């Protein structure tokens, strides 16, 4: 009889744990699904995630500023409309004089010391990092790292693949993070402010994408040549885009931009309920065919 009572008690306990979400596994949250994650895409609410912690002795000094690489200060350029009308992500508008109405921030002139991450077409943020330690200190930014737009006025910036930066002992550096647009349909980062408290997303819905790109060559630091800035890479792409001769080889920059454009579509398939319903088979096939990291 005691054995039966013990077994019955264990069954009740197991049922209680399952009902309360105990025992691990999926979060079970209705919010953790394609197109339903608060703060991402066009879904209302604050993003759910953990606060990103810098190593001891490393702090953000000053503001986190949104910059622009290709797109722009012109509110008439609507990325979402261009896509839905079949014009493509990389189709610029032109004014009456035939001049592209995008602006470019010249990030070569002391705008940053080092650039990391992947993306940067729609979201590029810069900020100062101070290392108060007496030794060089490495900061590791994980996949799922999110730069949060102040007041949600512009696109949040999402990091797809881990990256890192080493800060010399007792020094300050200005870091630029190239990130992906996590909110199709609202302005890019140019001219907007970002919270100095960063987050790391906890939505399991994004984990498959993070896993798929983890060993792929998608980060800007894997494409930069010695002495070549992100601005140089972008400007080569634009010359080619407008069919203007550029004497230097721009194959690497074109490859990088092409990857960024396509991966941002994959993100939008996940986060925007009016654009997709999760990763597609085409997304997975594209990522599988990307070059591996060296």
pLDDT category of residue 225 using cuts at 50, 70 and 90: low
pLDDT category of residue 221 using cuts at 50, 70 and 90: confident
Residue 111's nearest CA partner among 179, 173, 161 is 173
Helix (H) or strand (E) run with residue 159 in it = none
pLDDT for 99 beyond 60 = no
Residue 209's nearest CA partner among 109, 117, 283, 112 is 283
pLDDT at 200: 98
Angle between helices 230-241 and 251-271 (to 10 degrees): 90
Please compute the mean of the pLDDT values over residues 215-240 and round it to a whole number.
70
Please compute the mean of the pLDDT values over residues 235-241 and round it to a whole number.
61
The position carrying tokens 């009308």 is 85
Tens-place pLDDT, residues 20-67: 332 233 444 678 999 999 999 999 999 999 999 999 999 999 999 998
pLDDT for 104 beyond 60 = no
> What are the residues whose beta carbons fall under 8 Å from the beta carbon of 260, sequence distance 6 or more?
118, 119, 120, 121, 180, 218
pLDDT at 31: 86
DSSP letter string, 9-38: HHHHHHHHHHHTTTTSS----TTSSTT--T
Contact 195, 63 (CB under 8 A): no
pLDDT category of residue 256 using cuts at 50, 70 and 90: confident
Range with the lowest mean pLDDT among 19-28, 85-94, 191-200, 203-212? 19-28
Tens-place pLDDT, residues 107-158: 333 468 888 999 988 899 999 999 999 999 999 999 999 999 998 889 999 9
pLDDT category of residue 257 using cuts at 50, 70 and 90: confident
pLDDT at 120: 87
pLDDT for 190 beyond 70 = yes
Other CB atoms within a 10 A radius of the CB of residue 68 amount to: 23
pLDDT at 50: 97
pLDDT at 267: 97
pLDDT at 134: 98
Angle at 87 between CA 84 and CA 90, to 5 degrees: 110
Residue 141's nearest CA partner among 206, 192, 210, 209 is 210
Residue 259's nearest CA partner among 222, 226, 227 is 222
Other CB atoms within a 10 A radius of the CB of residue 135 amount to: 9
Residues 194, 195, 200, 205, CA torsion sign:
negative
pLDDT at 165: 96
Domain regions of the chain by residue span: 32-75+106-288
């Amino acid at each position: 009889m005691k054995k039966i009572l013990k077994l019955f008690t264990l069954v009740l306990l197991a049922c209680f744990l399952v009902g309360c979400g105990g025992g691990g596994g999926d979060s079970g949250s209705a919010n953790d699904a394609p197109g339903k994650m608060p703060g991402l895409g066009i879904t209302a609410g604050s993003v759910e995630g953990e606060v990103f912690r810098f190593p001891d002795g490393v702090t953000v000094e000053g503001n986190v500023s949104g910059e622009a690489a290709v797109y722009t200060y012109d509110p008439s350029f609507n990325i979402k409309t261009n896509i839905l009308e079949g014009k493509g992500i990389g189709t610029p508008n032109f004014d009456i004089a035939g001049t592209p109405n995008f602006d470019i921030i010249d990030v070569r002139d002391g705008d940053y010391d080092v650039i990391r991450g992947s993306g940067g077409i729609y979201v590029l943020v810069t900020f100062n990092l101070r290392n108060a330690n007496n030794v060089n200190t490495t900061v590791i930014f994980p996949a799922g790292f999110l730069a949060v737009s102040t007041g949600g006025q512009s696109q949040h910036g999402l990091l797809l693949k881990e990256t890192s930066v080493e800060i010399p002992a007792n020094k300050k550096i200005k870091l630029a993070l190239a990130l992906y647009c996590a909110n199709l349909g609202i302005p890019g980062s140019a001219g907007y402010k970002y919270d100095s408290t960063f987050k790391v997303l906890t939505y399991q819905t994004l984990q498959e994408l993070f896993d798929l790109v983890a060993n792929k060559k998608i980060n800007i630091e894997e494409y930069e040549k010695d002495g070549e800035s992100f601005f140089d890479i972008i400007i080569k792409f634009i010359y080619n885009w407008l069919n203007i001769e550029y004497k230097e080889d721009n194959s690497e920059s074109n490859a990088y931009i092409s990857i960024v454009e396509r991966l941002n579509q994959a993100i939008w398939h996940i986060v925007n309920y009016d654009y997709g319903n999760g990763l597609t088979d085409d997304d997975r096939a594209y990522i599988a065919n990307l070059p591996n990291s060296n």
